[in-house]
Amino acid sequence: MKKAILVTGILVLTLIQAIHAEPRFDSISLDPSYIEAGDTVNVYVKFHEHPDMRNVLSAGSRGEGGPRIVAGENPRVFYRTKLVPADDISKAYILIKNGEGKVGHLFIGESWTSLFKIKIRDNAPATTYSMEFQIIGTDIDGEKEELIISNDVEIPVRDSVEFNISSDNALDVGSTGNIKIGIGNEGGGIARHVNVGLTLNSPFTTATSSSRYLGDFKAGEEKNVEFFVSVSSDARIMTYKIPLTITYIDSDGVEQMVRKEIGVKIKTVPDLYLGLDEADSFAPGRKGTITLSIANKGFVDAKFLMLKLLPSEYYRVDSISEAYIGNLDSDDVETEDMTIKVSDNAPAGRIPLRVELYYKGEGSNKNYVLSREIPLRILTPEEYAAEHPQQDGISTVLKVVFAIPVFILGVVIVWLIYKIIELIINGLNKRLFSKS
């Protein structure tokens, strides 16, 4: 008897639950709570199975301020949930990544939370988007479906500010110049009272202020800013990272700060000088030595330095035409001697010596070539003879003519001295032998 009463009670309770229960909407939570264009959002919707002793409402009735009740006369004991766009703008800018959930059977008083994932498009304007949360009733086989309850879900998308930085700067060691930066607002919001600042450390020194006020940035707006700096002479050849900060006021009136970095490349090449240190006197057909001078006036060393003297119609190179110097330090000088013969048809005045330097810069594998034409003075035959009279033909003959008598006189004097010494020795010998 007791067992029959218990079974009957359970059946009654089950029947009451089937007929006089309906899902009730509880709450919505969004993660993240601050949503901007481009965000992926988790939408949590909580509801429960609520006992209702009232008659089943007809389709389309709605409690004031509550969910829409659209249940029919047939009871439902299994549920599925959906999240769908409620209007065209939501369809256009909200992508449903996971818009359905399987709930199954709920007992009276039991709660359930459905998780949906949505993606806000990157170009979504800032507004509140309307979504609709639906609970669908079905039988155990899932063949018959009916909308049981629906509720509005609002997705507020805030104004977003997204700064993009473009910067491609290269400065020389020991120089002054501008660091140029492009700043763009790629977000959908407005950034007001924008300030940009650089944190400059060695080897950089600001010549003016290290911050700039750029005013307001509308969505999609771009502006350029420049900072005038100097680079110390002992800077290393490398790319330096410089911290950059952007402060602005967002649409809620809150001050925001964005930290980024820009790169500034420090570069330089040796500043080489090629010149003629000294040279013999040259005339057409004459041969002599030239001394070429290479000086490094730059801040960095020149590596793997090679000097070449190229041939010309005005001269030929009679010595080795190439000289490997190696490394030439900053503020250092090297000289190289080479022998040339001036062509017989070379004009008097100036002819160009064609010289080339091949080298690499410090901290770089790039090859550099320095080409110069160095003027060399060419005398006329008469000017050359006047500067070098010892090489004139008549003077040479006269020297020979004067040299012969001098030579003969020298021989006579030597012979006389020899005879005098011989007489003295003979006289001494006679004296010594006569005494004995």
Domain ranges of the chain: 2-158, 163-267, 272-378
| Domains 163-267 and 272-378 alike in fold | yes
pLDDT at 401: 67
pLDDT grade, residue 395 (50/70/90)? low
Under CATH, which number does the domain 163-267 receive?
2.60.40.10
pLDDT of 50 strictly over 70: yes
- Residues 235-288: tens digit of each pLDDT: 888 899 999 999 999 877 889 999 999 999 998 888 899 999 999 999 999 999
Percent with pLDDT over 70 in the chain: 85
pLDDT of 2 strictly over 60: no
Looking at domain 272-378, what is its CATH homologous superfamily? Immunoglobulins (2.60.40.10)
Token pair belonging to 8: 């009957």
Burial class (CB in 10 A: 0-12, 13-18, 19+), 231: buried
SS3 of 66-126: CCEECCCCCCCCEEEEEEEECCHHHHHHEEEEECEEEEEECCCCCEEEEEEEEEECCCCCC
pLDDT grade, residue 17 (50/70/90)? very low
11/272 Cα distance (integer angstroms): 104
Q: Which CATH architecture has domain 2-158?
A: Sandwich (2.60)
pLDDT of 100 strictly over 80: yes
